[in-house]
Amino acid sequence: MPRIAVIGGGIAGVTLAWRLCESIRGTGIQLFTGEPYRRADASAVSGGLTRAFEPDPDLCMEASASLAELQADPVLRAWASYRETGSVYLMPGLGRETADLVDAVRQRVPGSVELLDAGQLTARGVFRDLPEGSVAVVEKHAGYVSPNGLRDRLLVELARSGVRVVDGRIETVTREGVVHPVGGSPMRFDVVVVAAGAWTRTLLKRTGLPDGGLRNKAIQYVLAPSQPGGPSAFVDETTGLYGRPYADARVLLGLPTDRWDVPPGAVSADPALSTRILDVAKARIGYSPPGGEVAAVAAVECYHATGALSLRPLAQGIYTFTGGSGGAGKTVLAASRTAARSLVRTLR
């Protein structure tokens, strides 16, 4: 019987193990969650923004497929704590390729998408001072999930399905597929998938395997009290600002960072960035904290140059499954299905 090890207890690793469990009945799948790091990973703090449209064609196909599956499955929606809020994706302009992607999303998620120019979006009363020529992809059927909540629920389902879930860290993985747990005995697997997020490069470096172009980057956002008439989930490419409604009458707002190669688990919030986030939010959406605490949240994510969560081979039988952003909440359902099918084919 083939044996598969998935190393990493974030949303990517757990969802991949779940997909494998669906596809390969009776196969010996073992998931190493990496505790205690799982409680401080990107999945735990991800904003969970979920929409069908992405300006990158490959990401758009996976995001739209993931959202379509989520909407079609009430059980999955409940596991992910899905909340439909709608979304706005604001861009400097609309090219032919982007228009084709919008048409593709319309086919996959019917009745959800409309295009608005700067004047039409401003007239809705949330966004202001938009650049001339900018255009927004507005999705009715979009919202957010809890990557952390989905991950925790899938861990329960995996245990029920007979997958061995080990709350332990891994010291090394050899090119021959031997996994060395910290404080445990080595185990050999036919396939090893390293899906350890920000810890992936550290593990690969100890192992002597290439990292396949993966890099760590800090993320940061603020959680602040919401105000009446605030926006739905949104991304504004013209400023970099993104946000969505949050639990407990709060709003999540963030900007991209340029803090690369940050060690996992060692990032701290940058007060200057938090101030800049609020300044941009005031200028673009008229948001000012209406009293109450503004909390900064910082974490480290693993990125790939393609921006995609994807299965990438490193050696015979050794792969990574990471490299998306934000816990890859938008694409993880489709990406994990694709990765699982690819792995199944290698075992036949």
Query: Amino acid identity, residue 78?
Result: A
What is the structure's pLDDT at 282? 96
The enclosing H or E element of 157 equals: helix 147-160
Beta bridge partners of 253: 222, 243
Q: Could you give the CA distance from residue 158 to residue 20 in angstroms, rounded to a whole number?
A: 10
Cα–chain center distance at 55: 16
**CATH numbers and ranges of domains, the chain:** 3-44+147-213+306-347 (3.50.50.60), 60-144+215-303 (3.30.9.10)
Residue 226, CA distances (Å) to 6, 134, 339 in order: 39, 26, 38
List strand residue ranges (DSSP E) for 1-97, in order: 3-7, 28-32, 49-50, 83-84, 87-91
The C-alpha angle with vertex 131 and arms to 110 and 114, in degrees rounded to 5, equals 10
Q: What pLDDT was estimated at residue 291?
A: 81
Name the helix (H) or strand (E) containing 3.
strand 3-7
pLDDT for res 327: 46
Strands, sheet with 83-84, edge to edge from the N-terminal-most edge strand: 49-50, 143-144, 83-84
Over its length of 348 residues, how does the chain's per-residue pLDDT go in tens digits? Answer: 789 999 999 899 999 999 999 888 756 899 999 876 555 565 655 667 889 999 999 999 999 999 999 999 999 999 999 999 899 999 999 888 899 999 999 999 999 999 999 999 999 999 999 999 999 999 999 988 888 889 999 999 999 988 999 988 899 999 999 999 998 999 999 999 999 988 999 999 988 999 989 999 999 999 999 988 888 889 999 999 999 888 888 999 999 999 999 988 778 999 999 999 999 999 999 999 988 789 999 988 889 988 889 999 999 999 999 987 544 678 999 999 999 999 999 887
Counted residue by residue, the chain has a size of 348
